[in-house]
Amino acid sequence: MSREGATVRDIASIAGVSAASVSRALRDPESVSDRTRQLVRVALDQIEEARVSSRPNGVSTIGCLFIDATSGPRFSGFDATIWSGLARVAIRHGAEILLMNIDRRRPHESIRDMIVRRNIQALAIRCDEGARDFLEEVAHAGVPTIAVAYKHDHPRIGYVCVRSRETSRDAVNHLIHLGHRRIGFCRNIVLDQDHADREHGYLDALGQQDIEIDRSLMITTPADADGGVTAINRLLALPNPPTAVYFADPIPTIGALRRLHEVGRRVPDDFSVVGFDDDNARRLGNPVYTSVCQDAPAMAEMTAQLLCRMMLGAQMNAPPRIELDSYLEVNSTTGRVPV
């Protein structure tokens, strides 16, 4: 009645009985009730199914599959935070992490074949709207799968993401309440779901306050420090420049603050800045910037915890669909509109 690689605690957790009952059922099946024997047998079958494609040494592997234009092989910023969070939890659970690039498949190799070849038992995927067609192929791979930072409607794949539209609206309303009416907005040149939510939040706030939308105040740049510099240069060069701006990414926010200092604009006396933060970037410089904040490490760790449970055979009525909250933190870079 035993299964290789399963511990008594694993079986007890899945079966919903005590570890002592599992020990008795394994050692002397006749010493426990028929119901307990059946529960333990079902739990063992679930564990065996979850480990069907496990490595010969019994170590489970979570594949981190990136199939979008924003995470790529750079592994910096947000994605570095996601990958490290996944790894921390996987290591605590005795699992391994394998980074997988969808573009590195063998000729004519399906995602399913790639997963089998690499002995993957679960998948954390980074994708965006451009990779939507891949979700069905990933689902056919037949392993527990969760999309990180991408809310979707596929019935067989879970997701863990962060809501940022409402908090982005709150951030722009914060500027409006300080008297600002000319408010810029800067986002990543790649319009994924996260950045679309932040842009919608910006537009929501202006619409609620009957402030006319000026598309010249909406800038798209690469999500790096030079992108922030470019955005400030373009906004300040306008005939009627803004008095404040909301940046939808952390690193451009830092680049923008540096550029404002270089051109002699005092923050927040002359110009107000709201940024975005995935972890702790807002506190790395001076001044600490006002920010819409999401907890990317928590998002990654929750994803890994769910995948580890699913690999152990935990039964769920449906794939996990979890939306975490973002929040607005007011710091030193927003002030009243200059007179």
pLDDT in tens, 216-258: 999 999 999 999 999 999 999 999 999 999 999 999 999 999 9
- The pTM of this model reads 0.79
Distance of alpha carbon 94 from its chain centroid, rounded?
22
Residue 167 Ramachandran class (φ > 0 left, ψ -120 to 50 alpha, else beta): alpha
Q: What is the mean pLDDT of residues 28-51?
A: 77
Distance CA 326, CA 314 (A): 29
Sheet holding 96-101, edge to edge: 96-101, 61-66, 122-126, 145-148, 158-163, 321-325
Query: In whole angstroms, how large is the CA radius of gyration of the chain?
Result: 24
Contact assessment for residue 159 and residue 321, using Cβ atoms and an 8 Å cutoff: yes
pLDDT in tens, 4-36: 456 788 788 888 889 888 888 888 888 888 888
DSSP structure string for 147-185: EES-----TT-EEEEEE-HHHHHHHHHHHHHTT--SEEE
Tokens read off for 101: 């690039």
Q: What is the mean pLDDT of residues 180-205?
A: 94
pLDDT in tens, 243-301: 999 999 999 999 999 999 999 999 999 999 999 999 999 999 889 999 999 999 999 99
pLDDT in tens, 76-98: 678 888 889 999 999 988 888 99
Specify the DSSP class assigned to residue 239: S
